[in-house]
Structure 1
Amino acid sequence: MFGSEFDFKRTHPEKRPYDEEETPSEDPDSYSDDGYTLRDSFEEPRSEKIKDESFGARKNPKRSCAVYFLLLTCGLLVFTLLAPRGFYSGRLRRPWKDIGVEDAIEGSEGGVKAPLNVFQVYPPVRVGAEFLPASYEGRGKECSVVLMEHEFGWSYGKPFVGSYTPPKCRWTHVLFNLTMTSKGRQFDRLAMLFLGDVEVFRTSTAEPTQAGIIFNYMKDMTAYTALLNQPQKLIFDLGNLVDSTYTGTFTATLTATFYTPPSTFYTPPTHPSRSPLHSPVPANQIFPISSLSSATNQPSHFLLPRDRATTPHTLPLNTIRATVSLSASGNADEEFWYTNVPSAYTHTFPGAPLPGASPFREVQLLINGELAGVAWPFAEIYTGGINPALWRPIVGIAAYDVPEYTIDITPFLPLILGAPATFEIRVATADPDEEIANDWIVSGRVFVWTDPSEDWITTGALHRRSLGATAFSTTTELTTEDDGNVNATLYHLITAQRALSLTATINTSAGPRAATWSQGLSYANTNRVSAGGTTQCVEQVTQGSSAATGKASTFRWPLSVNTTFLVDPARGNFTIWASVDRAVSERGEGGVFPRGGSMETRQNGTAVFMSGGGGAWGETEQRMAWTGTPVHGEGVGGYGRSVRAEAGRVVRDWEWVNELLVQKDLVVESEGDEMVFVDEERSVRSFLGRGPG
């Protein structure tokens, strides 16, 4: 779907000591002068594009899915014939020397297995001293505070509740470091961190192993300076269950590091009203769009469609800029929303129905009932999604830092200042009369910048507002078997486009300034379900742009997911084959990687999973290149990584930070044990996201 070439290019003329070493053909080997640029932008051959080339979807997805199904069917047939003992005895017979690790690495002493590091590929936030220039004046002063040490066992409705007190040291930047360990058998879990009623971090866990895992994520929290300057109630919600089957607990440690770099690349203007909209100056105040449940020691997210996600606020009269950041995650029946079919076709095949309400979702922000902006969400895949053997030890894109979506509401200020305003979050489908299933977990934050004059009363006017409805186009085809009595294939194509814009004038104490917000979005999803609902091929591209005064950004998120499964009726076991190929291409402040700059990453893998203790095997690789402008002397300006894992073990790894090599061609060839995942009481349809039965 994304083309065959995805290479880093390094073209720096200066020769380094390691340039003389042979570079394996699979590794990136060249860069552009400005850091890290990918030669491929996920362009498909023109002959295979659909009518609207901007979507980047295939012209004939029915043929490609048919070929995929034929190859998988032949492969499964050969597998079943040649290895019946492995299949029916619940043991996967591996090809040649493919490793089937039990998700842990042998320790060096006494055969003790060390915890497996299950990681996300992402650009680091702050570089270590070894990556700083020789002329750098020294690492800035810092202080660290442990915010949480807690074990989440049976923790549904029992979040960690603690107190946050601002540190006594002076600081301008802050990082949160979340580390978790787990051991045993457990599903992946969603987790949310709140400061009071404001959600500040949403993450998910990896699925543990019998030998144990460890995973870590570091997040820049400087944007929440207004909250971190005041004492707060800290609530970390991670709903987990533990019994005789699901034995894994999650031990979490959250640490905050406050620091002041000795040098900076940004000098704030003397008057905040003259700051560009992309200015890194943190907001003066932050207001929650949440259920306001911290007073009862509970997390403050909403569950849609059960709740009405509204919160009233009266913004300060001297507000001169405001943005809203939205968190929205499909959960339970909505986790795999991008694989859904139109509701009219949910009973196409015998057995449990397919999930309906179409594969399109739109997250909407309304202010006083009027649309202010939208987000077309990223297709998040957690570590138990599609096929769990895909995500060990490399987790899915953004699995540890679930995306947030930013909408600039500055043009709305003339309409809402001086009176209470109701902020509301909705999630819509392609049909305005059709409700989503259970459930979407949503919350939001209103970031407010005020005029330096406390007595100033901001005025202004909204000059133009264009909020056109989404334009949909759909094609659905249903074919039957030769006898005409049984459905054979369901094919569905849906495309969508939307544009909106607002233009206003905001009068500040330094004079009037223009405020604009615009969005342009396009989407295409092709979905082919066949073989009685046991094979599905989904290809989706979501892309768009947004612009506010002083900044602009673009994004493109292609996705291809193929799954098929066989069921052994005699034993009730099933086998899942799956492949995933997806990418993120973002410029400016993106939705998946919100840091400004240029991001290109692609992740693809294939896996087989057999229930009933049959074993699993998977291979996944990811390549990433990111460039940006550091906001201080210890920031990261460039990052690149190419990593590959097979059967639960990293077999190749290559990494750069600020043009300096971190890891060069790590190759691992040792074998291990089998991979084991949770499958008890888990039907094949629920495994694939196609319904509970």
Structure 2
Amino acid sequence: MLMLFILAAFQLGLYGCIASPAASITATRDESGVVKSPLDVFEVQAPLRASYGGTSCEQVVLQYTFAGSYGTPYVGTYSPPEDCEFTTTIFNLSMTSSGINYDRLGLIYFGDVEVWRTTTAMPVRTGIFWNYQKDVTIFDTLLRSEQKVIMSLDNLYDSVFTGAYNVTITALYYNDNQTLSPADLILPISTQSSGQDKASVISLPDGNATVSFTLPRNAERAVVSVLASGNGDEEFWYRNVPTQYTDTFNNSALHAYSPFREVQVLIDGVLAGVGWPFPIIFTGGISPGLWVPIVGVHTYDVPSFEVDISPWLGILCDGKAHSFELAVVGYDSKTTFGTVGSNWWVSGSIFVWKDAGGNQTTGTPRAALVRPASPLSYQHHHDIIGPQNLSWSQSLSYSSINNYTAEGSNKTISALTTGTSYFSPSSKYSSPINNTFSYPITFRTSSTTPVDATTANSTIVASLDRSLLSNAVPILSYLTSPSIFGTPQVLATRQTGSSVYYWNDTYYEFAGAIDPAMGTSGSTEQWYSAVSKVGVYGRHVKAIDGYEPVLVVDEEFPSAIAVPDTELVGIGK
């Protein structure tokens, strides 16, 4: 096979690499004795800096092996660096694994505040590794004091599931020429279980996602950041059907509450803002053969969404306790909002900035909500204006057309989610900043299961086409570092792929989840174009997953690249 590897020469000089204790693992031998190098299973990411060198200081925040770790998180202590001037902090996450196992969800907390949510790649016997960088400067208030570090990564580890996950998180501190204005307080919307050495994530709809806080009377800005991901019965929520259709076939192939999800932020029971989640596909999702060695968008950094609650401060600064609640809803039927399946894991943080002069914030917010509902097409418009003319508004739209045949074993999903939000940069400006996003997705799956799954293979045939398009000034990043994040961060990326995947009930006795011996074949291609505070970055990659998963195209560019459109089925763009 002819393999093409293209790497622009500028990359070596412009963008640095990070080495850490867990950045790579030793080569191993396969069953035939051939030496195999560990596979870099990566997520395409624009560099966060022109160079990762030149740190003021560095330190390891966490280093731990998650083996039989179900219900047993890592618990440690973070101490801020001594004699180190810094304004920017980046966490480098390195993971390695070799053996057989599923993908896992990782939750990283400082005390009761979740600072990073990640998922893992699926290991193979010859080993995998990856690195990912996250700018955590918005948590500067926490980074400058001692914190209890809790990381939950529930993992099975026994004679069958032999893949442990070796995790290292290294903090890189930089002293950049910028004005830093971090939040004065960060309050958790969580179970607040750090005192019991547990991750403070909330499970919905069964758990309680309501907390109560008394905000400072002189709070002048407040923003809620929310992390939410569907797991268990809700992992593939985007291919569910309205509840009334779940009995269409004589099996359990169709799941309830529709393919629409809304994550809500409520203040004293009143809707303050929402997030319409991006459909995260874990590396075991749809077909594992799609995600080797290129993983899905947001696999290593599950995205949060932000709701500016500054317009509410006229009420919230009255010296009384107020409730803050997170909720997840879907459609119970054609016209009714309702609950969802189990389970959504959610947590949130309230970032609060105080008025330096100690002045109490007063005023009454004015809110308007328009939300016409229909079976699979939905619009949402929400406006609120508060003290000092600070405003927050959202306008979102969702459409979905899904087809199910062969007793639900064949599924074609096509959906388009778009939205715009507006926030006031400060009371000095009359024009709000607008942020836009769009994520179209189309995928098809067909599956067959034999009568005796111990002697014959089950089969999944899958294809995927999805994009993520955004043009945004992140609210928290802007308020924390206005001189750096004053211009929009623009991203356009598209992933396409197809895969044929085989397995049976004796599968894990002999092969890993993405082991080519099981007959996996497929290919994945991604286009990525970003304009950020660092500059402009483009990358085009293509991988073939078969007996030897290989990266056959890898092109990097010091410029934006053309990103083709995702092809939707029956939905206008």
Q: Does the alignment reach a TM-score above 0.5? A: yes
Q: Which residue in 1 is equivalent to 2:403?
A: 528
Equivalent residue number for residue 136 of structure 1 = none
The equivalent position to 2:328 in structure 1, one of 417, 427, 442, is 427
User: Does the 8 Å CA contact 1:284/1:449 hold for their aligned counterparts?
Assistant: yes
Q: Does residue 582 in structure 1 map to residue 466 in structure 2?
A: yes
Deviation, 1:347, is 1.8
**Does structure 2 retain, via aligned residues, the 8 Å contact 1:347–1:353?**
no
Please report how far the alpha carbon of residue 640 of structure 1 lies from its aligned counterpart in structure 2 after TM superposition. Answer: 0.7
Counterpart of 2:530 (choices 611, 626, 644) is 626
Map of 1:649 onto structure 2: 550
Instruction: Work out the CA distance in 1 between the residues paired with 2:99 and 2:473.
Output: 39
Give yes or no for the alignment of 1:447 onto 2:348: no
2:159 aligned with 1:244, yes or no?
yes
The 1:343–1:572 alpha-carbon spacing in structure 2 relative to 1, beyond 3 Å, is farther
Q: Which residue of 1 aligns with 2:57?
A: 143
> Unpaired segments of 5 or more residues in structure 1?
1-23, 30-103, 130-138, 269-279, 475-493, 506-512, 631-635, 661-693
Distance in 1, Cα, partners of 2:57 & 2:400: 48
Q: Partner letter of residue 57 of structure 2?
A: C
Q: 2:146 aligns with which of 224, 228, 231?
A: 231
3-state SS, counterpart of residue 207 of structure 1: coil
Partner of 1:558: 440
| Identity across the alignment (%) | 42
In the TM superposition, residue 615 of structure 1 has moved relative to its aligned partner by 1.6
* TM-score, length-scaled by structure 1: 0.69
**Shift in Å at residue 532 of structure 1?**
1.9
3-state SS of the aligned residue for 1:187? coil
128, 146, 154: which one aligns with 2:51: 128
Asked if 1:363 corresponds to 2:286, the answer is no
Deviation at 1:443, TM superposition (A): 0.3
Contact 1:27/1:642 (<8 A) preserved? no
1:690 paired residue number: none
Whichever residue aligns with residue 127 of structure 1, its letter is A
Aligned: 1:467 with 2:369: yes
Asked if 2 retains the 8 angstrom alpha-carbon contact of 1:375 and 1:405, the reply is yes
Q: Partners in 2 of 1:465 and 1:473 — Cα distance?
A: 23
1:415 Cα deviation after fit? 1.1
2:329/2:337 contact within 8 Å kept: no
Query: Given the alignment of the two structures, is residue 324 of structure 1 paired with residue 224 of structure 2, yes or no?
Result: yes
In structure 1, C-alpha distance between the alignment counterparts of 2:203 and 2:328, rounded to whole Å: 11
- Contact 2:253–2:409 (8 Å) recurs in 1: no
Q: Does 1:605 align with 2:497?
A: yes
SS state of the match for residue 155, structure 2? coil
Q: State the distance in 1 between where 2:386 and 2:246 align.
A: 45
Distance, in Å, in 2 between the alignment partners of 1:541 and 1:190 is 26
1:111 offset after TM fit, Å? 4.1
1:318 partner letter = N
Structure 1 residue 473 displacement after superposition: 2.1
- Return closer, same or farther for 1:433/1:360 CA change in 2, 3 Å cut-off: closer
TM-score (normalizing by structure 2):
0.83
What SS does the corresponding residue of 1:599 show, helix, strand or coil? strand
Check conservation: 2:525, 2:541, Cα contact below 8 A.
Answer: yes
In structure 2, distance between residues paired with 1:659 and 1:535? 37
Q: Which amino acid in 2 is paired with 1:116?
A: L
Q: Distance in 2 between matches of 1:27 and 1:650?
A: 10
Q: CA deviation at 1:419?
A: 1.1
Residues 168-205 of structure 1: CA distance to partner in whole angstroms, max 9, x if unpaired? 11111111011111111100000010000000100000
Tell me which residue corresponds to 2:11.
Answer: none
Report how far residue 322 of structure 1 moved: 0.6
The one-letter amino acid of 1:120's match is E
* 1:56-455 → structure 2 map (5 Å cutoff): 111-128=34-51, 140-168=54-82, 169-261=84-176, 264=177, 266=178, 268=179, 281-417=181-317, 418-431=319-332, 432=336, 434-453=338-357, 455=358
**Cα RMSD for the two superposed structures:** 2.4
- Rounded to whole Å, the distance in 2 between the matches of 1:549 and 1:452 is 19
Deviations 1:477-498 (A, max 9, x none): xxxxxxxxxxxxxxxxx10001
- C-alpha change, 1:370 and 1:585, in structure 2 (3 Å) is same
Indicate conservation of the 8 Å contact 1:196/1:232, yes or no.
Answer: yes
Match of 1:488 in 2: none
Confirm or deny: 8 A CA contact 2:243 2:331 kept in the other structure: no
Distance in structure 2 (CA, Å) of the matches to 1:643 and 1:207: 20
Q: One-letter code of the match for 2:364?
A: A
Offset, 1:112: 2.1
Q: Deviations over 1:491-516 (max 9, x none)?
A: xxx100010000112xxxxxxx3200
Residue of structure 1 in register with 2:567 after alignment: none
Matched position secondary structure for 1:299: coil
Which one of 536, 539, 546 corresponds to residue 414 of structure 2? 539
What's the offset of the Cα at 1:471?
1.8
Q: C-alpha displacement at 1:587, in angstroms? A: 0.5
Checking the alignment, whether the CA contact within 8 Å between 1:141 and 1:259 is kept in structure 2 is yes
Alignment CA distance shift 1:166-1:424 (3 Å): same
The Cα of 1:421 is off from its aligned counterpart by 1.3
Unaligned ranges ≥5, structure 2? 9-26, 426-432, 479-484, 508-517, 562-573
1:164 Cα deviation after fit: 0.7
Q: How many residues align?
A: 500
Deviation of 1:140 after TM superposition, in Å, equals 4.3
Q: Provide the C-alpha distance between the structure 2 equivalents of 1:495 and 1:572, rounded to a whole number of angstroms.
A: 41
CA distance, structure 2, for counterparts of residue 644 and residue 568 of structure 1: 33
On the 8 A contact 1:430/1:472 being kept in 2, the answer is: no
Q: Measured at CA, do residues 619 and 106 of structure 1 come closer, stay the same or move farther in structure 2, by a change above 3 Å?
A: farther
Contact 1:118 1:213 in 2 (8 A): yes
CA distance in structure 1 between the partners assigned to 2:416 and 2:208 by the alignment:
30
Q: Once the 2 structures are TM-superposed, how far is the Cα of residue 106 of structure 1 from its aligned partner?
A: 8.7
Contact 1:171 1:258 in 2 (8 A): yes
The separation in 2 between residues aligned to 1:362 and 1:111, in whole angstroms, is 50
Letter in 1 for 2:359: W
1:147 CA displacement: 1.1
Deviation of 1:606 (Å) = 0.3
